Amino acid sequence: MLPLSQALSLGALLFCIIALLYMLLQVRHLPHQRDLATPRGRWWEGIVYAFTKALLPWSKESSTRHLVSYLAGVVFHLSTFFALFLFFLSFWLKSVPASLKLWGSLGLWSGLLCGFGLLLKRIFTPHLRSLSYPDDYFSNALVEAFLLVSWISLREGEFPPYFYFIAVIFFLYLPLGKLRHALFCLYARAVWGSFFGRRGVLSLWGAKRTEGR
């Protein structure tokens, strides 16, 4: 029999998955215009590009110009994935190995610092503040809280009930607010890659496509 906190967190995770799947199905059922123009490039090449080369810090002007913010974002996201991994691991792990404690703490702390930096940036940069709503601040803070309890759990070598309670809030909120970009960003990136790949604008190997003669 699972402790209440763990059972609740699994329930919240189930809600999160069902809600995201429901949204995904809703979106899939919306009208969609098939592109009838003869392609110049390959759509799949664009998708591969979108998930590989496009992620490199020097591939987009926005990331090169704002390298610190971009890298902070990458670290913040990687730490969040690691915290999620820890959540799943916590159901099986009897004790936390020393190596995981060390490297995991380092990763989570990096994520915490980066996330906090991004939160401060959002608060103190006027143009970013003009783009932000309570949801943006809350989502960041919620992930920060999740990273923090993950780090505390790692340090303590056990996963206390509050780790699971924060996980409950995290999973319940994920499909409702900005955090649902976890799902839609992947979809949007694939759409972006496919669109520009088909038109021969994005190319994996650098050579741009010219129309067949």
Residues that bind another protein (CB under 8 A): 23, 26-28, 30-38, 40-41, 50, 54, 60-63, 65-66, 69-70, 73, 125-128, 130-136, 138, 176-178, 180-181, 184-185, 187-189, 191-193, 195-196, 199-202, 208-211, 213
The Cα 31–Cα 43 span in angstroms is: 20
Residue 1: alpha-carbon gap to chain centroid: 32
Closest CA to 13 of 25, 2, 27: 2
Structure tokens that stand for 99 in this block: 């190596």
The residue (of 26 and 95) whose beta carbon lies closer to another protein is 26
Contact 166, 145 (CB under 8 A): yes
Closer to another protein by Cβ: residue 3 or 39: 39
Cβ 58 vs Cβ 204: under 8 Å: no
Cβ–Cβ under 8 Å, residues 112 and 151: yes
Residue among 35 and 158 whose Cβ is closer to another protein: 35
Min CB(8)–another protein separation in Å: 21
From the list 145, 210, 138, 139, the residue with the least C-alpha distance to 181 is: 139
**Considering the complex, what minimum distance in angstroms separates the CB of residue 124 from another protein?**
12
Q: Give whichever of 94 and 134 is closer to another protein, judged by the CB atom.
A: 134
Q: How far is the CB of 13 from another protein (least distance, A)?
A: 18
Q: How far is the CB of 60 from another protein (least distance, A)?
A: 5
